[in-house]
Amino acid sequence: MVAATARIEDLRIGPLSKTYRLSASSVLALKDVSLDIAGGSFVSIIGSSGCGKSTLLRIIAGLEPSDGGPVRLGGRTIERPGLDRGFVFQEHRLLPWLTVAANIAFGLKGLPKDEIRDRIEAHLKLVGLEGFANAYPAQLSGGMAQRVAIARALVNKPEVLLLDEPFGALDALTRIQMQQEILRIWDVEQTTMILVTHDIDEAIFLGDEVIVMSARPGTIKKRLSVNLPRPRDRTSADFLAFRREIYREFFTEAEAPFAYVI
């Protein structure tokens, strides 16, 4: 088993805004976004296309600067990428010429050989891919490749795992399986998880909280605590009540009548 982080620190985001400057214009992608996330919690972020979800995740990752507002992880201010944060993208982004083991180890430079071997082994086990160390990405299914991407993001034992639509390219059944897997991994690793998704059921199934964003400019519209026991039953009346509440943030009953017939 991979050792859990001793103490997971809270994230304090903003208030921050983000403007993308183009040659002849600018886009206000985020406006006055403030978000505190408890260490070790699972937070889902949902919102329409272009509301700034990926921008927010990239700022937390240190891949993108904000217009000046702070992001703090515990006592540290985040200004650039760091090993305390892992990132999983929608596409797996594995290097096709490297084996699964080498892909997982890619960011592990400077550690003793034994430590590298142990971490690869532990993380292959963590994502259920023992026996695939020497396989190449082209030999894996979409779900398996995304498991490798998750292992690669976790191998440096980050405090925060940032997941940007990680299951968006998977078929519906694999997606459900991966949702269960990510909960198991969360339980073992005790990492703070921040998931961007377009899928309302996925947001409710996974999140301790669901953050609903709205667009133009991107702001936080609503924050919902999902106080349902785990494992969650997607067909339960309580689950469906959460789904209805989130649908209401996007559509009126007249616009999406079927969403309300539950």
Ligand X SMILES: Nc1ncnc2c1ncn2[C@@H]1O[C@H](COP(=O)(O)OP(=O)(O)OP(=O)(O)O)[C@@H](O)[C@H]1O
Residue ranges in contact with ligand X by CB under 6 A: 20, 22, 27, 29, 47, 49-55, 218
| Token pair listed for 76 | 């540290």
| Token pair listed for 262 | 């539950």
Cα 180 to its chain centre, rounded Å, is: 14
78, 72 contact by CB (below 8 A): yes
Q: At closest approach, how far in Å is the CB of 18 from ligand X? A: 8
Nearer to ligand X, 121 or 249 (CB): 249
18, 29 contact by CB (below 8 A): yes
Nearer to ligand X, 11 or 29 (CB): 29
Q: At closest approach, how far in Å is the CB of 51 from ligand X? A: 4
Nearer to ligand X, 165 or 189 (CB): 165
Q: At closest approach, how far in Å is the CB of 57 from ligand X? A: 8
From residue 236, how far is each of 130, 172, 178, 231 by CA, in Å?
35, 20, 21, 12
Nearer to ligand X, 45 or 126 (CB): 45
Q: At closest approach, how far in Å is the CB of 217 from ligand X? A: 9
Half-sphere exposure of 233 (CA within 13 A, CB side): 4
228, 203 contact by CB (below 8 A): no
